[in-house]
Each structure stands twice: as C-alpha cells, then as structure tokens.
Amino acid sequence: MPDKTPVPSNAELEILRVLWKDGPSTVRSVHDALSRERNVGYTTVLKIMQVMAEKRLVTRDESERSHVYSPAVEEKSVKRRLVSDLLDKAFDGSAAQLVMQALSDKRASAEDLKQIRKLLNESARKEQ
C-alpha cells in the first residue's frame, strides 16, 4: 500500500508530530502546542494546515466552526520515508552506515545501545 502523499516539509512534520501525539486537533490547539517551543503566528499554522489538507497529509472535519484536523499519514510510514531518503542521499543506501552514524551521536546513551543490542540479538535468534 504505497503512499502517494508527498514527504512532509519541516513545518508540516512539526505539525504532524503534534497530531500524532495529541490526536485530532484544532488549529488553535496545534498552535498552542507549537508556541510552547517557538514563536509562530496563528495564521501561519493555519495556512500550513490548509496546505497539508490539500496535499492529503491531513484530513479535516468542518462540521464545527473550529475545524478539526486529523493526521492522514501514518507516523511509521513517514519516518520510513525520511530515513529512506536520507539513506539514499547520503549513505549510498547502506543502512549499516547510517546506523553506525546514529549510534555515534552523543545522544545515543549507553541505555539505548543496550536496548538496541538486545533487540538485534533477539531478532537474530528468531531468524535462525
């Protein structure tokens, strides 16, 4: 079931993340959420969400005065696309290379590494 929707831009992704986290939301509520992180105008958020609706990145319910927007793309599949794009454009398609780079990120804690190791070992066992 391939997605024909475009990869979301940065601002769009920001909004999608709010929708994924909070579920169907009004522009007001998305704006409130984003405002906690950075300065952004209300009509800016509105406009982007309107554009997203045109692109089918979100759907909206107009039955109330305050329209309610819902994500129309799955978090998993968007992230997959993003990773896949980065893989192509920077890592020659080598997931191993990208993983190595990600693991060397300062934010990859020892705990993370442990968890990843565990998952990898588990899946290896399963495949045998």
Partner DNA sequence: TGCGAAGTACGAAGGGCTTCGTATATTGGC
Partner DNA sequence: GCCAATATACGAAGCCCTTCGTACTTCGCA
Indicate whether 28 belongs to the interface with its own copies (CB under 8 A).
Answer: no
Question: Least CB distance from residue 122 to its own copies, whole Å?
Answer: 11
Indicate whether 72 belongs to the interface with DNA (CB under 7 A).
Answer: no
Tokens standing for residue 17: 């993340």
Indicate whether 51 belongs to the interface with DNA (CB under 7 A).
Answer: yes
Indicate whether 4 belongs to the interface with DNA (CB under 7 A).
Answer: no
Given 21, 22, 47, 95, the residue binding DNA (CB under 7 A): 47
Residues that bind its own copies (CB under 8 A): 10, 13-14, 17, 78-80, 82-84, 86-87, 89-91, 93-96, 98-105, 107-108, 110, 112-117, 119-121, 123-124, 127
